[in-house]
Amino acid sequence: MIQRAVTISAPHGLHTRPAALLVKAAQDFPCTITVLSQGRQASAKSLFRLQTLDLRYGTEITLQAEGEQAEQAIDRLSDMLSDLK
């Protein structure tokens, strides 16, 4: 299992449009990818589930991946989250 902490840096948080981009990127990988935030978790491959986490600016999350291409998935998704403005 691969894990990485990331802080949401987008001023408006992870609203629908960037969340949809994250989901699309996550779906490119065969592994299981989970986003953990404030004691809750959601699949990174489900837009609906991600939106239930209320990912606002400054929120620290943990990306967790397990399975084939887990490290590549974490690298790509954490880079995406860091680049959001």
Phi, psi of 22 (to 5 degrees): -65, -45
Residue 12 a catalytic site member = no
Among the options 1, 3, 12, 15, which is catalytic?
15
Asked if 43 and 70 touch (Cβ cutoff 8 Å), the reply is no
């620290």: which residue's tokens?
Answer: 60
Positions marked catalytic: 15
